[in-house]
Amino acid sequence: MGLFSKKPPCPICGGKISWFLSSKIEGEYICDSCYGKIDMEDDKKNHLTMQGFRDYLAFYEQNQQLKDKFVISERIDFGILDTKIIFDYQNKLFCMSKNPDKTVFEGEQLKYFTIKEDNTLLFEGSAAGIKRYTSTVIERAMAMAPQISQFMMNRQMTRTLDKLDDGKVNGSATPMQFFDIPEPFDKFNVKLCFDHPYWKVIKCDMDGPRFDNTTPDVNDYLRSYQSNMEEIEKLVAAFKTVAFPRAQEQSIGFGGNVGTVGTIQTTETPHVDAIEEIKKYKALMEEGIITHQEFDAKKRQLLGI
């Protein structure tokens, strides 16, 4: 038995087994082409038996029919790792890829989904309804304006002092200052829960907006947030179309059952003049940073009506 001794053919298709790094199931070598068909949760994949693999291949052949009839109606790009989700509205299908080359899910296999800003619920959807929770991100970003002005003033001051110093001592310039106060949230977290033989949960995330670390600006932040939210809204609408077409939508405000909403930042600013706040939001709406609905919701909330 030398290094190049022949491996037995693939027990599934009789094909050739590559001579290095070949995959095994229950100690038997499987050809790359058969093994490459596996698309299931890691835990299930790691415990796959030969019989389990044969059952999976039957499922795979069936799923091929869904791949064949898949017509892409909507494609949503998600996050920097380039997660893409495609939807087929006609056949009520979706697939976590840019082409229907991975497992295609039928809408009814999705039991529910949640979308959070870090750990704070933003959307929750199931056949029972699509719930939209009030986000505090916009006002928390706006509450950072004084810190940001302070940073910009300090930075300007340092620059001016450096200019006055110029030429006196070599290399004495103050190091560049960077804005390092954390954003109102880090990521949008999406969780999909299935009733499916090979998938229970799929999680993916999308980075929230970031402040520029040399010239942070609240309006820039809100503009990026707005475009992120447009993608999120598209995603929610797409899941509703394929999975919960009859679900009612409802908005849940601060009086709702979300314990994590209402963070330190918002409770620290109780002396807000409602009218002044509304004016600020109106300006944001006029600049196209927030929508008319968002403005109305904010107005009602501030006026307590």
- Which residues of this chain interact with Zn ion, rule CB under 5 A? 10, 12-13, 15, 31, 34
CB of 60 to Zn ion, least distance (A): 12
CB of 34 to Zn ion, least distance (A): 3
CB of 37 to Zn ion, least distance (A): 9
Cβ proximity to Zn ion, 12 vs 115, nearer residue: 12
CB of 19 to Zn ion, least distance (A): 15
In order, the DSSP letters of the chain are --TTPPPPPPTTT-PPPPSSS-EEETTEEE-HHHHTT--S-HHHHHT--HHHHHHHHHHHHHHHHHHHH---SEEEEETTTTEEEEEETTTTEEESSSSTTSPEEEGGGEEEEEEEETTEEEEEEETTEEEEEPP-HHHHHHTTHHHHHHHHHHHHHHHHHHHHHTTTSTT-PPPPP---PPPS-SEEEEEEEE--SS-SEEEEEEE-----SSS--HHHHHHHHHHHHHHHHHHHHHHHHHH-TTPPEEEE-TTSS-TT-S-HHHHT-----HHHHHHHHHHHHHTTSS-HHHHHHHHHHHHT-
CB of 68 to Zn ion, least distance (A): 21
Cβ proximity to Zn ion, 34 vs 137, nearer residue: 34
Cβ proximity of 146 and 140 under 8 Å: no
Cβ proximity to Zn ion, 31 vs 93, nearer residue: 31
CB of 64 to Zn ion, least distance (A): 16
CB of 8 to Zn ion, least distance (A): 11
Cβ proximity to Zn ion, 36 vs 262, nearer residue: 36
Cβ proximity to Zn ion, 48 vs 173, nearer residue: 48
Cβ proximity of 281 and 290 under 8 Å: yes
Cβ proximity to Zn ion, 12 vs 104, nearer residue: 12
Cβ proximity to Zn ion, 54 vs 300, nearer residue: 54
